[in-house]
Amino acid sequence: MDTIYFNDKFVPAPEAKVSVMTNSLHYGTAVFEGIRAYWNGPKKQLFVFKMLEHYQRFLRNTSLLRLKVNHTPEELCDITLELLRKNHPEEDVYIRPLAFFSTETMGVKLHGMETGLTIFSIPFGPYIDVSKGVKVGISSWRRIDDNSIPARCKISGGYVNSAVAKSEALDHGYDEAIFLTKDGFVSEGSAENIFLLRGGKLLTPTLAEDILEGITRSTLIDLCRTELNLEVVERQIGRSELYLAEEIFLCGTGAQVSPVIEVDRRPIGSGEIGPITAEIQKLYFEVVKGNSRKYLKWCIPIY
Establish if 252 lies at the interface with ligand PMP (CB under 6 A). Answer: yes
Confirm whether 154 is a catalytic residue.
Answer: yes
Beta-strand relationship, 134-138 and 256-263: parallel
Catalytic residue among 50, 154, 166, 289: 154
Selected from 175, 176, 188, 209, the binder of ligand PMP by CB under 6 A is 188
Residues 20-59 that bind ligand PMP (CB under 6 A): 34
Q: In whole angstroms, what is the distance from residue 119 CA to residue 78 CA?
A: 12
How many amino acids of this chain bind ligand PMP (CB under 6 A)? Answer: 14
Dihedral sign for Cα atoms in the order 232, 233, 238, 241: negative
Q: In whole angstroms, what is the distance from residue 227 CA to residue 147 CA?
A: 37
Establish if 216 lies at the interface with ligand PMP (CB under 6 A). Answer: yes
Pick the stretch among 96-104, 170-178, 212-220, 268-276 that binds ligand PMP (CB under 6 A).
212-220
Closest to ligand PMP by CB, 162 vs 281, is 162
Selected from 121, 181, 193, 204, the binder of ligand PMP by CB under 6 A is 193
Q: In whole angstroms, what is the distance from residue 193 CA to residue 188 CA?
A: 5
Pick the stretch among 110-118, 170-178, 213-221, 260-268 that binds ligand PMP (CB under 6 A).
213-221
User: DSSP for 26-86?
Assistant: HH--EEE--EEEEEETTTTEEEEESHHHHHHHHHHHHHHTT----S-HHHHHHHHHHHHHH
CB 179 within 8 A of CB 193: no
Pick the stretch among 61-69, 86-94, 131-139, 187-195 that binds ligand PMP (CB under 6 A).
187-195
Closest to ligand PMP by CB, 54 vs 135, is 54
Establish if 77 lies at the interface with ligand PMP (CB under 6 A). Answer: no
Q: In whole angstroms, what is the distance from residue 264 CA to residue 14 CA?
A: 44
Residues, the chain, total?
A: 303
Establish if 210 lies at the interface with ligand PMP (CB under 6 A). Answer: no
Residues that bind ligand PMP (CB under 6 A): 34, 162, 188, 191-193, 212, 214-217, 252-254
User: Which residues are designated catalytic?
Assistant: 154
